[in-house]
Amino acid sequence: MHNRTMRSAANFGNHAKPPEHVPVRSSLTKIDWALLATISVLIVLYSLLPLGTALQFGGDEGIELMKGFLVSKGYLLYTQIWNDQPPILTMLLSWVFRIFGPSIFVARLLAVGFGLTLYLALYHLVKIRSNKLSAMAAVFFLAAAPAILQLSASVMLEVPAIAIALGSAYCLFEWVRRKQSYWLVASGTIMGVALQIKLTAVMVAPAICLEIMIVIFQSTRAVLKDSNGNLIGPKTSSRFLSVYPGLIWCATTTLVFLVIGMFFGKGSLASSWQSHTGHQIISGLGSPANFPFQFSMLLKHFECLAGSVFAIIFLCQQKRWYEMRFPLILLATSFAVHLLHRPWWSYYYLHFAIPLAWLCGIAFSDLLMRISALLPRMRSAKQSSVRWRFVSLALMTGLVFVISEMRLEGNIRKLRASSKINDNQLVNKIRQYAGRTNWIYSEPPIYAFHAGLLVPPELAVIVLKRFWSGQTSTSEIIEVCRKYKTEQIVLYKSKLTEKWYEFLTSERYVGIIANETSVMYVTRELEL
């Protein structure tokens, strides 16, 4: 009885219900050509990007690269290296740096691996709930979303965390379909790992919890019947047993999160808690309240926003709740969090882009099916309404596709035109003095990484949250530079305060070179 009711839960509101029994087929006899085509296109897209030559993609690349570089040299995360983020990506970077050397190309290949995981996880999720065409369209619309392709090739935390969280959702979908408990354990395990990449992976958790709650709700509706078929009440044991899926998932997630934290994240709690809860206004740096959610990001993605509205309307009309509930909860969670949470950074748009691309993919697929259904009627139709309907649907579908394709093409052109490492005068000047340099303080640390130099571990992560939470100040940064006797210092021009001028003058630093945003100083002994 319990298994039968659990199957009923999986099919709740399912427009395209999964089969009761999933036959096991050899991968040699059943090839997902749509998946292979999607992977091939993604690989081509990534091959067009200057992964090994671009100076910087994402704004926080330098921070993540420097943390991994320092750990690969034996410095301890949290103990010596200040860090307010979970450890997994830093540990992965340190391992690949030890094996292959501290190369930007190697680091971005790791980032691309997570990017492919993100797209392919989305493909499988949409395919399970809708169809292959919707899945391919969703991947396309996600890749074409504002800044997402760039983010998915950047050595940053957001894409790896969300990609692994979507992998957790995929395992949950398999559990809903197959009723095999190890899928549930796998989902919780993967979510625990995702949270130890970045805590924003929790954005996927409400949608996962909703899936489990629906299964529980359906299992409690199981009833017993007498010999005449009369209902005699709910099956109490079924109601009792139905809480186990939620407990298993939560327990597994928590256990994996804690175990990873104990082995790799010792000391992370204090810095992370303070940086996320302590807020103060710093002169010239503002406060988290100065960085609210930017609705302009949604306007830049208008075609997918409109497609998602269209998808929600016709999915509701057709009562296809099974297809829409997961992306809809993802979208609602994103709005609920980011309308309240401060600060907002542009890479958080990934949280919106995924459900919007998912829903728009469904809409795009549905429109194509409607157009194909109208084609036979076009030849014999005497009423102009059929032709007008065909033309309007074709224009709508084509417009959505063309707008997204043009943005994707523009994003690729922009990334290919990124500043090159070897063409950057500041990097070349830092390299010129690298042979006689032990330590450098660099804003951003991407310059130091490209020159193969280390920053003082305490200064690897200098972000606004650290100032706002009272965990550093300009005076403390200067004292660390004095302690390490940094031979080179690269500062943002906007942060050249009187305190910095006093330090640079007293320690006899000499200005060497400047660009649009930064200025470089070296000790007089190094310059001679």
Q: What is the pLDDT of residue 10?
A: 36
Decide if pLDDT at 355 tops 70: yes
| Lowest-confidence segment of 12-26, 66-80, 411-425 by average pLDDT | 12-26
Decide if pLDDT at 19 tops 50: no
Q: Say if CB 178 and CB 22 are below 8 A apart.
A: yes
Q: What is the pLDDT of residue 379?
A: 61
Q: How confident is the model at residue 22 (pLDDT cuts 50, 70, 90)?
A: very low
Q: What is the pLDDT of residue 277?
A: 58
Q: What is the mean pLDDT of residues 291-319?
A: 90
Mean pLDDT of the chain: 85
The model's pTM is 0.88
Q: What is the pLDDT of residue 276?
A: 61
| Lowest-confidence segment of 66-70, 218-222, 433-437, 471-475 by average pLDDT | 218-222
The better pLDDT of the pair 108, 231 is held by 108
Q: Report how far residue 129's alpha carbon sits from residue 324's, in angstroms, rounded to the nearest whole number.
A: 8
Decide if pLDDT at 72 tops 60: yes
Query: What domains can you pick out in the chain, each with its CATH number?
Result: 2-21+33-52+103-360 (no CATH), 421-527 (3.40.190)
- Cβ-Cβ contacts under 8 Å for 49 (sequence gap 6 or more): 149, 153, 412, 415, 416
| Lowest-confidence segment of 16-20, 188-192, 327-331, 432-436 by average pLDDT | 16-20
Residue 518, strand partner residues = 492
Of 204-218, 255-269, 418-432, give the range with the top mean pLDDT.
418-432
Q: What is the pLDDT of residue 472?
A: 83
Q: What is the pLDDT of residue 259?
A: 92
CA nearest 194: which of 212, 170, 168?
168
The H or E element that residue 250 is part of is: helix 244-264
Q: What is the pLDDT of residue 219?
A: 65
Q: What is the pLDDT of residue 112?
A: 97
Decide if pLDDT at 6 tops 50: no
Q: Report how far residue 330's alpha carbon sits from residue 328's, in angstroms, rounded to the nearest whole number.
A: 5
Instruction: State whether residue 518 is helix, strand or coil.
Output: strand
Q: How confident is the model at residue 230 (pLDDT cuts 50, 70, 90)?
A: low
Q: Report how far residue 2's alpha carbon sits from residue 376's, in angstroms, rounded to the nearest whole number.
A: 47
Q: What is the mean pLDDT of residues 257-280?
A: 70
CA nearest 200: which of 337, 354, 353, 61?
337
CA distances from 498 to 360, 379, 493, 502 (A): 52, 78, 12, 6
Q: What is the mean pLDDT of residues 387-394?
A: 76
Longest dimension (CA), the chain: 101
| Lowest-confidence segment of 28-32, 312-316, 330-334, 453-457 by average pLDDT | 28-32
Decide if pLDDT at 480 tops 70: yes
Q: What is the mean pLDDT of residues 266-286?
A: 60
Q: How confident is the model at residue 466 (pLDDT cuts 50, 70, 90)?
A: confident
Q: How confident is the model at residue 24 (pLDDT cuts 50, 70, 90)?
A: very low
Of 96-110, 250-264, 367-381, give the range with the top mean pLDDT.
96-110
Which DSSP string do the residues of 291-338 spell out, in sequence order? Answer: S---THHHHHTHHHHHHHHHHHHHHHHTT-HHHHHHHHHHHHHHHHHH
Model pLDDT for residues 163-211, shown as the tens digit of each residue: 999 999 999 999 988 878 889 999 999 999 999 999 999 999 999 999 9
| Lowest-confidence segment of 97-111, 211-225, 334-348, 495-509 by average pLDDT | 211-225
The better pLDDT of the pair 356, 396 is held by 356
Model pLDDT for residues 85-144, shown as the tens digit of each residue: 999 999 999 999 999 999 999 999 999 999 999 999 999 999 999 999 999 999 999 999
Q: Report how far residue 504's alpha carbon sits from residue 522's, in angstroms, rounded to the nearest whole number.
A: 9
